[in-house]
């Protein structure tokens, strides 16, 4: 999902709006793109895989961008809930469950 969000950001000129990413590779890509916005200025180890995203078929759609961001957040919230359910932080867990409910109410 992170790769898809970055692809949409590149195609739609939304690199400055990228959220934080959880995985190391895409997290670094997102961080660099937020800083400079230009995939050609990425460090070499990030550039090739990122530029391949621009070659994929498909165009940017605002609705697709919003949906992808929402789905990415939903995945992250679910992961946090799993982690917190083991730790027992009830207040934070309730807040995350509420947010997950908001994210999934229209599905």
Confidence of residue 107 (pLDDT cuts 50, 70, 90): low
The percentage of the chain sitting over the pLDDT mark of 70, rounded to a whole number, equals: 96
Question: ∠23-74-69 over CA atoms, to 5°?
Answer: 75
DSSP-assigned letter for residue 20: P
Supply the pTM of this predicted model.
0.71
Domain residue ranges in the chain: 1-59, 61-107
pLDDT in tens, 23-71: 999 999 999 999 988 899 999 999 999 989 888 888 788 888 989 999 9
Question: ∠94-100-105 over CA atoms, to 5°?
Answer: 125
């Amino acid at each position: 999902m992170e790769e898809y969000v970055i692809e949409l950001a590149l195609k739609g000129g939304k690199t400055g709006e990228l959220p934080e990413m959880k995985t190391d590779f895409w997290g670094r890509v997102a961080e660099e793109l937020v800083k400079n916005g230009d995939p050609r200025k990425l460090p070499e180890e990030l550039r090739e895989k990122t530029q391949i995203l621009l070659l994929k078929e498909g165009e940017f759609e605002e609705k697709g961008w919003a949906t992808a961001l929402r789905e990415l957040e939903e995945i992250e919230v679910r992961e946090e809930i799993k982690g917190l359910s083991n730790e027992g932080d009830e207040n934070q867990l309730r807040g995350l469950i509420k947010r997950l409910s908001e994210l999934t109410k229209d599905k």
